[in-house]
Amino acid sequence: MLVEEIMHRNVHSVTPSTSIGDAIHLLKNHQIRHLPVLDGDVFVGLVTDRDLRSASPSSLDPKGLRNLLHRPVSEVMIRQVITAHPLDFFEDAARALYEHRIGCLPILEGEKLVGILTETDILRRLIEIFGVDRPSQHVEVEVEDRFGILAEVADIFGQHRTNINSVMLERSQKEDHLNIVFRVQAKDLGKIIDNIEQAGHRVLWPRTNPDPEGGV
Amino acid sequence: MKDEARFIYSEDLLRYRFGDNHPFDNRRLKPTLDLIRTLGRLEDHHLHPPRPATEEELILVHDPDYICLVKEADRGDIPRERLEEYGLGTEDNPVFPGIHQTSALVTGGTLEAAEIVMSGQARHALNLSGGLHHALRGKASGFCIYNDAAVAIAQIRKKYQARVLYIDTDAHHGDGVQWAFYHDPEVLTLSIHETGRYLFPGTGNVYERGHDTGLGSCINVPLDAFTEDESWLDAFQRVIPRIARSFQPDVILSQNGCDAHRYDPLTHLSATMRIYRIIPQVVHELAHELCDGRWIAVGGGGYDIWRVVPRAWTYLWAEMSGRPLNEMEIPRSWLEKWQPKSPLTLPDTLHDPEGLFEPIPRREEITQKNERTVNQVLKMAGLLK
């Protein structure tokens, strides 16, 4: 999945000469936290609500505050901004946000701003990935880590003509094993689970006890 | 008319079944009916036959092309891929002979029950063959072909303009009914079920609350796997009466799936027969308090057809018909008649005796988690600060 598939294309922006007061207004009105600063088409910086707040003088100094609101954003904007490209991978964008502890990535093609990606967009996409768009349920299987294992287990669903909505693979706590988490379009899993067990895999869900090691 | 109740039944309804290796088999009503009769709770004047729902009625909820396909599905010449597009011919929803006729009869049964109650012929009416709550507008889903409860509610809306409270206590989320009225502020759908995180159909999260003018008229209480009686009842009793009183319905339609029981092979809520005695009591009281007694009830899931379904639905009908049953032994005659047919040893009491099931580990955490869910539901409904 690429950044261009999930980024926002209609971006609210300001120019270097926009006043700080107007920028604050824009952030409040649109309930956003980041404003790219554009000089014509060219991306020159970013103002965030956090920067604007920390630049603000105390409310005990009304005159100072009034002065500040009339100054241009170019005085408080960040110029060294971490950005991304529309063809970057979703995972890499997520990592950039996480590692630099930032909330948004302006997406640039050359110097031109084409979109913006925020941590909220990443979370929304993750929710969609884990989500349920068709009636389905959860099956979790612990398998040996070897060639063809995913195809083997997936084939059992195929034999029962059961659609798989999503698959996740992760390392198992058990050495040389993987956990495969499926969401499948079936209400009755009985026969499928029997076949998975007959094939020698351990079914972690469905189970009859909240403690996977316990037995009722 | 006092507290008269009607029981919708005909042997034709038993044909709603998907074959010998499928968990849904409406022949479960035979031992159920026999247990009710053995306990002296059913007389001829209670019985009322179903009638097939008309296409005009089915169209209130279902797409015409879906109905057309169901009508032709058992002819044997429809390509598998085409059936599967409509959710049919899968292992969950195999085509069976007379699939349209029988499914339309089930729906007609619920329509009859609704008409009996709305026209004032009786205060309560029960169609145990109904409650097929997963059926979608244009698709069979989760053993459900036509959504009888949704069709009946749509008909009540059309003919009587009444406000309908739908209460669904099946272990699975009542998704089909929810989506059918997701935009309708006059129908409040309330489903309490095992979390979709694990269980079919996956939906039923607290944040599914209706849309547009229907926002707030959809309530979901997803409970954790291994919830057990105490926590289940706590959630039920904290949510249902408050929501019902604040919604002020004209009629209640309850879906009484009994697949949250510890014995049920498809689910993990691990409740006992106790909840199936208390659910109808609470709903019955609310129907009298808020709706002048108007209460339509349907069945639903229930896949331990020997040890759970007959007992649970006996409690339901006994409550509805005004002669509730308590904890008691099951008459020997019933056990002698049905034990030879059951592959499992039948319980000899109507209730599950204390201590029958071993306690489940992590009860405290699961209870806490459910409490948080209930608080969240009540907060979103504006019923908790």
Domain locations in chain B as residue ranges: 5-380
The domain boundary residue, chosen from A105, A127, A149: A127
- The amino acid sitting at A7 is M
pLDDT tens per residue across span B209-260: 999 999 999 999 999 999 999 999 999 999 999 999 999 999 999 999 999 9
Domain check: are A116 and A142 in the same one?
no
Say if A73 falls within a structural domain: yes
CATH number for the domain spanning A161: value is 3.30.70.260
Say if A49 falls within a structural domain: yes
- Given CB atoms, is B138 within the 8 Å cutoff of chain A? no
Selected for mutation to probe chain B from A140, A188, A192 (highest B CB count within 10 Å) is A188
Domain check: are A162 and A79 in the same one?
no
CATH number for the domain spanning A47: value is 3.10.580.10
- Given CB atoms, is A190 within the 8 Å cutoff of chain B? yes
Domain check: are A67 and A141 in the same one?
no
Report how far residue A131's alpha carbon sits from residue A117's, in angstroms, rounded to the nearest whole number: 21
Say if A96 falls within a structural domain: yes
Overall average pLDDT of the A199-205 stretch? 96
- Answer whether B91's CB lies under 8 Å from B130's CB: no
Overall average pLDDT of the B172-177 stretch? 98
Minimal C-alpha gap between A116 and chain B (Å) = 27
Say if A159 falls within a structural domain: yes
Give the total number of structural domains in chain A.
2
Residue B365: other Cβ atoms inside 10 A: 12
- The amino acid sitting at B253 is L
Report how far residue B46's alpha carbon sits from residue B126's, in angstroms, rounded to the nearest whole number: 10
* Both structure tokens of B204: 């039923």
Non-local (6+) Cβ contacts of A39 within 8 A are A15, A16
- Given CB atoms, is B360 within the 8 Å cutoff of chain A? yes
Least CB-CB distance to A135: which of B84, B202, B266? B202
Say if A116 falls within a structural domain: yes
Domain check: are A138 and A123 in the same one?
no
Report how far residue B265's alpha carbon sits from residue B280's, in angstroms, rounded to the nearest whole number: 23
Say if A212 falls within a structural domain: no
The domain boundary residue, chosen from A127, A162, A179: A127
Radius of gyration of chain A (CA): 25
pLDDT tens per residue across span B268-319: 999 999 999 999 999 999 999 999 999 999 999 999 999 999 999 999 999 9
The pLDDT assigned to B361 comes to: 87
Residue B47: other Cβ atoms inside 10 A: 13
Residue A63: other Cβ atoms inside 10 A: 8
Which CATH code of 3.40.50.12160, 3.40.800.20, 3.40.50.80, 3.40.50.720 fits the domain covering B5-380? 3.40.800.20
The pLDDT assigned to A215 comes to: 42
Instruction: Enter the ipTM.
Output: 0.89
Domain check: are A200 and A106 in the same one?
no
pLDDT at A214 over 70: no
Domain check: are A13 and A117 in the same one?
yes
Domain check: are A16 and A76 in the same one?
yes
- The amino acid sitting at A146 is R
Interface of A with B in 86-125 (CB under 8 A): none
User: SS3 string of chain B?
Assistant: CCCCEEEECCHHHHHCECCCCCCCEHHHHHHHHHHHHHCCCCCHHHEECCCCCCHHHHCCCCCHHHHHHHHHHHHCCCCHHHHHHCCCCCCCCCCCCCHHHHHHHHHHHHHHHHHHHHCCCCCEEEECCCCCCCCECCECECCECCCHHHHHHHHHHHHHCCCEEEEECCCCCCHHHHHHCCCCCCEEEEEEEECCCCCCCCCCCCCCCCCHHHCCCEEEEEECCCCHHHHHHHHHHHHHHHHHHHHCCCEEEEECCCCCECCCCCCCCCECHHHHHHHHHHHHHHHHHHHCCCEEEECCCCCCCCCCHHHHHHHHHHHHCCCCCCCCECCHHHHHHHHHHCCCCCCCECCCCCCCCCCCCCHHHHHHHHHHHHHHHHHHCCCCC
Report how far residue A118's alpha carbon sits from residue B362's, in angstroms, rounded to the nearest whole number: 38
Cis? peptide before A206, omega within 30° of 0:
yes
Residue A17 sits at φ, ψ, to 5 deg, of -90, -5
pLDDT at A59 over 70: no
Domain check: are A191 and A116 in the same one?
no
pLDDT at B205 over 70: yes
Report how far residue B210's alpha carbon sits from residue B177's, in angstroms, rounded to the nearest whole number: 12
**What distances in angstroms separate CA B203 from CA B196, B208, B227, B263, one per listed residue?**
5, 8, 18, 23
Domain check: are A159 and A116 in the same one?
no
pLDDT tens per residue across span B13-56: 999 999 999 999 999 999 999 999 999 999 999 999 999 999 99
Say if A163 falls within a structural domain: yes
The pLDDT assigned to B121 comes to: 96
The domain boundary residue, chosen from A112, A127, A142: A127
Domain check: are A79 and A156 in the same one?
no
* Both structure tokens of B119: 């026209």
* Strand order across the beta sheet in which A34-39 lies: A34-39, A42-48, A112-118, A104-109
Q: Tokens 């709770």 — which residue? A: B41
Cβ contact (<8 Å) for A135 and B23? no
Supply the mean pLDDT for chain B.
97
The pLDDT assigned to B1 comes to: 45
Task: Name the burial class of residue B64, with classes exposed (0-12), middle (13-18) and buried (19+) by CB atoms within 10 angstroms of its CB.
Answer: exposed
Report how far residue B194's alpha carbon sits from residue A94's, in angstroms, rounded to the nearest whole number: 33
Report how far residue B123's alpha carbon sits from residue B259's, in angstroms, rounded to the nearest whole number: 27
- Answer whether B29's CB lies under 8 Å from B14's CB: yes
Cβ contact (<8 Å) for B142 and A135? yes
Cis? peptide before A210, omega within 30° of 0:
no
Say if A211 falls within a structural domain: no
Domain check: are A15 and A120 in the same one?
yes
Report how far residue A117's alpha carbon sits from residue B364's, in angstroms, rounded to the nearest whole number: 41
* Both structure tokens of B234: 């706590």
Domain check: are A46 and A107 in the same one?
yes
Report how far residue B174's alpha carbon sits from residue B152's, in angstroms, rounded to the nearest whole number: 15
Which domain range does residue A159 map to? 134-205
Overall average pLDDT of the B105-120 stretch? 98
Minimal C-alpha gap between A133 and chain B (Å) = 8
- Given CB atoms, is A215 within the 8 Å cutoff of chain B? no
The pLDDT assigned to B311 comes to: 98
- Answer whether A73's CB lies under 8 Å from A108's CB: no
Interface of A with B in 123-182 (CB under 8 A): 132, 135-138, 160-162
Q: Tokens 């809306």 — which residue? A: B157
pLDDT at B60 over 80: yes
